[in-house]
Amino acid sequence: PDSFPTSARLFERARKVMPGGNTRTTVFIDPFPIYVTEGEGCRVKDADGQWFYDCINNFTAMIHGYAQPEQVAAVTDQLRLGTAFGGPTPSEIELAELLVGRLPAMEQIRFANSGTEGVMMAIKAARAYTGRPRIVKIEGAYHGSYDFAEVSLDSAPGNWGDMPASTAYARGTPQGVLDDVLVVPFNDIAALRAVFAQHGATIAGVLIDPMPNRAGLIPARKDYLEAMAETAHAAGALVIFDEVISFRLGHSGAQGLWGIRPDLTALGKIIGGGFPVGAVAGRAEVMAVFDPTRGKPALPHGGTFTANPVTMRAGLAAMHALTPEAFAHLDDLGTILRDGTNAALARLGLPGACVGLGSLFKVHFTAGPITDYRSVYPGKVEKARLEAFHRGLLNRGVLSASYGLFALSTPMTRVDAGKILAAIEDTLSDVARAA
Ligand code: PMP
């Protein structure tokens, strides 16, 4: 039913006390967002009492969906014991040991409260370690809300020269921020080498999401990542992986799948078991910039709720449940949905493709090969199709991100995947008829 009267009413109330009724840009949809009241397994209920398959999963964070018993038990116990203290707790050591044990490139880790902070600390650690100001990033890649990480996020076609320009995402971004972020096209070894040849001595690190969501959700090539490591290291710079999303691709994250060892890795989302979290991890020699045991560290970092034991224990429960079998199950569901969606697009003669890996997929309505941010930049027609696709799925009981992203969860079964695919097929038929 294209009818959400309670959500509409809640939004009117919200508009009076929050700008545009909104406290999180990413969850706004036009004309109003769907308010959610509860979740169970792979479904959520909206304020009008309707249940949906949830393929957003809080923008990929809820890999076990909702109310997973182990997470509920751990958190309930900790609520009784106290939720945050002015001192460390044993739980942070446990989660640190687990994560460091899973990722060969991570010798040490440090927690924070969001992926934004994880990325920010990784960038600042690269600067502190190298004593250099600049970073290199990929055109159109999203890394959270730190000024430097936001550069070129929505670079418009007018700025598309041979080399990407450093464009501001938010009005009022200081020119100094733009000067210190060098932007390169995705999967382009020659362009990366050219930037390092010109600016190598001032570059602290190169920031890369191995499967950048907003830049198309296609994987970085292994030879590109290898060339990136070689080029950066030759210039004395570091490689920073943003695995805030891609850590859900496998037991050792994307870096495990690709067999690459970055110097630093930013984490977030799934490692907090549904609670606010971020982290930076990496080689011990680099992570030493945070070490306070020999006086003021090169890079001091605090945070009132950092490593709070609720997040730590929820994260531990979530990570323990993410066994190799759980990843195999997620991969199976992802394959069913990607293959089925691509078959439907082909059958209907709709331009577009369904891309991604493991539990993540994305539907693009752009024609032509999907290679980078520019290749998936939606024109008017593609935007209208994305909107119709999102709305059609909503009306068929499936929540997806408004820009075409889907994230699956472990409680989903093959039967659920079949039902989600049927909704996708029906919706694509409508989109094709309207085309
Ligand atoms: N990096 C990536 C790749 C992300 O997708 C996100 C959030 N969607 C972030 C960083 C920022 O994480 P957070 O929203 O927890 O600040």
pLDDT for 1 equals 46
**What's the rounded Cα separation, in Å, for the pair 119 and 143?**
7
DSSP 26: G
Cα 254 from Cα 219, distance rounded (Å): 9
Say yes or no: CB of residue 210 within 6 Å of ligand 1.
Answer: no
For ligand 1, is residue 115 a contact (CB within 6 Å)? Answer: yes
One domain, residues 149 and 199: yes
CA of 115 to the centre of ligand 1 (A): 5
Same domain assignment for residues 404 and 270: no
Model confidence at 343, pLDDT cuts 50, 70, 90, reads: very high
Residue 434 in tokens: 């309207």
Cα(213) to centroid(ligand 1), Å? 10
Give pLDDT, residue 435: 78
> What spacing in Å lies between the alpha carbon of 116 and ligand 1's midpoint?
6
Q: Whose CA is nearest to atom 14 of ligand 1?
A: 115
Separation of alpha carbons 75 and 86, rounded Å: 19
Range of the domain at 349: 5-63+323-434
pLDDT digits (tens, 9 = 90+) for 368-392: 999 999 999 999 999 999 999 999 9
Distance CA(392)–CA(390), nearest Å, equals 6
Over residues 211-222, the pLDDT tens digits come to 999 999 999 999
159 and 239 in a single domain? The answer is: yes
| Residue identifier of the C-alpha nearest atom 1 of ligand 1 | 143
Q: What are phi and psi of 385, to 5 degrees?
A: -65, -40
Span 102-131, pLDDT tens digits: 998 999 999 999 999 999 999 999 999 999
Is 56 in the same domain as 75?
A: no
Percentage with pLDDT > 70 across the chain:
100
Q: State if residue 268 touches ligand 1 by the CB under 6 angstroms criterion.
A: yes
Give me the interface pTM, i.e. the ipTM. 0.99
Q: Are residues 125 and 253 in the same domain?
A: yes
C-alpha–C-alpha distance, residues 309 and 311, integer Å? 5
Q: Are residues 300 and 368 in the same domain?
A: no
Token look-up 């032509």 returns: 368
| C-alpha to C-alpha distance for 156 and 242, rounded to whole angstroms | 23
Interval between CA 145 and ligand 1 midpoint (Å)? 8
Type of residue found at 222: K
- The beta strands (E) that lie in 84-176 are given as 108-112, 134-138
Q: Is the dihedral of CA 131, 134, 140, 146 positive or negative?
A: positive
What is the atom index within ligand 1 of the atom nearest the CA of 26?
8
- Which of 321, 356, 383 is the last residue in one of the domains? 321
Q: Are residues 76 and 199 in the same domain?
A: yes
Q: What are the E-state strand segments in 188-301?
A: 203-208, 238-242, 264-268, 278-282
CATH of the domain at 426: 3.90.1150.10
Domain end: 287, 321, 355, which one?
A: 321
Do 41 and 124 fall into the same domain? no
Residues 334 and 417 reside in one and the same domain? yes
Q: Is the CB of 279 under 6 A from ligand 1?
A: no
Structure tokens at 110: 């440090």
CA distances from 145 to 37, 214, 324 (A): 27, 14, 32
pLDDT score, position 159: 87
C-alpha span between 9 and 325 (Å, rounded): 43
Are 247 and 339 in a shared domain? Answer: no
Q: How many domains does the chain have?
A: 2
d(CA 74, CA 334): 29
What is the CATH number for 238? 3.40.640.10
Going by C-alpha positions, the residue among 250, 277, 256, 251 that lies closest to residue 266 is 277
Which residues are identified as catalytic?
A: 142, 242, 269
In total, the chain counts a number of residues equal to 435
Taking CA atoms, 353 is separated from 65, 195, 268, 345, in Å, by: 26, 31, 28, 7
Neighbour order of strands in the sheet with 353-357: 353-357, 360-364, 405-407
Instruction: Identify the pLDDT of residue 2.
Output: 62
Same domain, 189 and 44: no
Alpha-carbon span 298 to 132, nearest angstrom: 13
Tokens of 368: 């032509």
Last residue of a domain, one of 293, 321, 349: 321
Q: In this model, does residue 80 exceed pLDDT 50?
A: yes
Q: Is the pLDDT of residue 66 over 70?
A: yes
Averaged over 394-409, what is the pLDDT? 97
Question: What average pLDDT is seen over the chain?
Answer: 97
Residue 119 Cα: closest atom of ligand 1: 10
* Radius of gyration over every alpha carbon of the chain, rounded to an integer in angstroms: 21
Answer yes or no: do 260 and 225 share one domain.
Answer: yes
- 410, 67 in Cβ contact below 8 A? no
349-367: per-residue pLDDT in tens? Answer: 999 999 999 999 999 999 9
